[in-house]
Amino acid sequence: MTEELELFCEDMDEQLSIMEETLVDMSEISIEEVDSEMINKLFRAMHTMKGNAGMFGFDTVVSFAHVAENLLDEVRNEKIALTQDMVDLFLLVNDHSKELIDITVQEEQMDDDQLEHHNDLLSQLSIFLGKEAPKATSKSENIDEPEESGIPTYDIKIKPKKSFYESDMDIFSIIKFLGVIGDISDLKLEDKDIPTIDKIEEKNAYLSISMRYLCEEPFEDIQAAFDFVKDDIELNISNVTKQVVTKEEEIEISTKEEEKVVVQTPTKPKTTTKSKPKPKAKKAEKSSSLRVDSAKVDQLINLISEMVIANAKITQISNDQDNTELGEAADTLTSMLEEIRTGVMDIRMVQVGSSFAKLRRIVNDTAKKLGKDIEFIISGEDTELDKTVIEKISDPLVHMLRNSVDHGIESIEKRLKNGKKQKGQIDLRAYPDAGSIVIEIEDDGAGIPKDIILNKAIQNGIVSPNDNLTDKEIYNLIFAAGLSTAEAITDVSGRGVGMDVVKRNIEELKGTVDVDSVFGKGSKITVRLPLTLAIIDGFLVQAGDTKYIIPLDMVDECIELTAQHKSKMKDNQFINLRGSILPLLDSSDYFETNSIQTESDRENIIIISSVNNKAGLIVNELHGEFQTVIKPLGAVFEKVPWVSGGTILGNGEVALILDVPMLLQSVSDATKTIKKMER
């Protein structure tokens, strides 16, 4: 896919998201509450979509968007009243536009079903417009006569001067820009002056370009598109807008009169700039942001990661050689790198809001399909998360929300019978917490029937009847593969495939998922995700002959394992930390490291924590904070427990990154097992 086409797809996604978000907003309020700004937003998005598609010659998209745009135009001009059915129709139009753009970009054809749906939508739009439906594949409407839409219409003629090509200006980028701020039609190359190839002076320009152009932006903005080539072309812009007249005005205004605006620019010294025309009018509100290919940001992060590793090497050399000057320079570099790192990582951080907005649509549609009345409340939309994490968490969230709607929230009758309010509630929250982002999905539905879950798990051999599971452990069985307790398998959920995949996807993102429920009252699923997947602040420790990185956010404190501690512990694997009894893990036992002679005899305990779990970890040496570039360990080490990745230290040595949540979870599970055995 070319860069232009990629940008086109991104633009389309953006416009479609705006439309979807606005339509979902509209569907959640009464029609009387819909304000003109919402309609204008829809119109602008559809208009931009049409313009951009026109620029690429995607005629089917253009003609489809054109009909939808016409209806929106009528609504915004209050000629046609908005109805709820219309909002529903526009949601379908939005979905179909997405599909249509995909098909067009892939250079495919609509299949019979898609074509039927396409025609059906066109018919429905036309019914609202009170017109006959246009043909599905027909090109944009009559272009010979200016439409009576009131949109200013121009005939533009561009005649490049003889030396135009040598200026190396790109006329296509100007046409493209015009397509962004307006609608181009009837674009023609006039070739009558071109000689045959054996007679042509190939560097001279002979041809000219003409087009019909509809644009609501000020005339100056249209002219401004040609700023960079105005010395190299003859430009003629004629306003041919067909006047829309009221009966009262009819007598005074002649509709055939054309206002002619001719711009013949005087010859000036040729400019040497090669800049392309700058988008102004329509993009003005976005002038403070810059669209950058995410691959470029990834590349920058990779480079910074390599710089962090190289800097660690310099620091190591300065330490080895006891070179203070080099050490100071390395320190300066370290703090600068940290700032750059934070800045670049910030670029990757995206607010979860846009992703959440799409979920509203899914909840609404699913609720409608199941005949349920649900209020979906989103909070924390401005919480930021790494773009990759957002992209990958989207599917699991969809699945969990569908489950909440399908199995969580009861039918209206059941809710009323149980003394609950008719409208069920699902909350989707996002907030930062201790270096992670927490996403919660909470519903006030039926809750998880733990007996049914347990019996099903026993039947499927997931747990044994003798296992004495806590409520929480039973609830978490919903993430076991192949366990579905849905009484009816619907096309929404209930096939027992999904929640295990949800858990796996979240764990692949180095996140955790946890479920809590009160039968009859509702359930809450908590997803905890790392802020980023690239570079973290870590704490470097040594256990035996192996170095480990513990994410700094999960380190509570470091203490010395004193003789006093040891005497109090006796043979127990617990430590009393200011009155709190914590499990104590000996890293050499856990990680089976080879013991080595260290510089000091001191033994250290690092107190690590994650969510509600906390433990002490005995290590031999503490090396301190370390900017950690996360490197995947590859398939061979994939199954190594409690290790989530690796990093390269300054001396080239590899340190393993501890998967603290998994480690603490396993300790918690083991402790419970011991307790059960003791019973």
Partner 1 sequence: MTLGFDELNIYEISNFKQEILNALEENESKDKFELDFEFVESIDLSSIQLLLSLKKYCDEKKLKLQLVNIKAKSIRQKLKLFNLNETLGVVK
Residues that bind partner 1 (CB under 8 A): 1-2, 4-5, 55-57, 160, 165-166, 168, 170-172, 175, 187-189, 191, 194-198, 200, 202-203, 205-207, 209
Residue 160 to residue 205: CA distance in whole angstroms? 6
- Taking the least distance from each CB to partner 1, the nearer of 81 and 200 is 200
Identify the H or E element spanning 223. Answer: helix 219-224
Please give the angle made by the CA atoms of 428, 433 and 436, to the nearest 5 degrees: 90
- Taking the least distance from each CB to partner 1, the nearer of 198 and 285 is 198
Shortest distance, position 28 Cβ to partner 1, whole Å? 40
Which amino acid appears at position 532 of this protein?
Answer: T
Shortest distance, position 221 Cβ to partner 1, whole Å? 22
Shortest distance, position 189 Cβ to partner 1, whole Å? 5
- For residue 190, give the nearest of 212, 209, 163, 171 by alpha carbon: 209
The two beta strands, 384-386 and 349-351, are antiparallel
Residue 669 to residue 522: CA distance in whole angstroms? 25
For residue 638, the SS3 value is coil
Residue 510 to residue 355: CA distance in whole angstroms? 20
- Taking the least distance from each CB to partner 1, the nearer of 11 and 384 is 11
Shortest distance, position 163 Cβ to partner 1, whole Å? 10
- Taking the least distance from each CB to partner 1, the nearer of 233 and 457 is 233
- Taking the least distance from each CB to partner 1, the nearer of 209 and 458 is 209
Shortest distance, position 608 Cβ to partner 1, whole Å? 53
- Taking the least distance from each CB to partner 1, the nearer of 2 and 466 is 2
Report the Cα–Cα distance between both ends of the chain, in Å, rounded.
64
- Taking the least distance from each CB to partner 1, the nearer of 175 and 561 is 175
* Structure tokens that stand for 620 in this block: 């031999």
* Residues 544, 594 contacting (CB under 8 angstroms): yes
- Taking the least distance from each CB to partner 1, the nearer of 204 and 388 is 204
Give the number of other Cβ atoms within 10 Å of residue 235's Cβ: 17
Shortest distance, position 417 Cβ to partner 1, whole Å? 60
Shortest distance, position 17 Cβ to partner 1, whole Å? 25
- Taking the least distance from each CB to partner 1, the nearer of 53 and 584 is 53
Shortest distance, position 223 Cβ to partner 1, whole Å? 21
Taking the CA atoms of residue 93, residue 94, residue 97 and residue 103 in that order, the dihedral angle to the nearest 10 degrees is: -120
Give the number of other Cβ atoms within 10 Å of residue 149's Cβ: 17
The dihedrals phi and psi of 615, each to the nearest 5 degrees, come to -155, 165
- Taking the least distance from each CB to partner 1, the nearer of 175 and 582 is 175
Helix and strand totals (H; E) in the chain: 19, 21
Shortest distance, position 235 Cβ to partner 1, whole Å? 15
* Residues 448, 424 contacting (CB under 8 angstroms): no
* Residues 297, 344 contacting (CB under 8 angstroms): yes
Shortest distance, position 205 Cβ to partner 1, whole Å? 7
Residue 204 to residue 161: CA distance in whole angstroms? 8
* Structure tokens that stand for 262 in this block: 């001719």
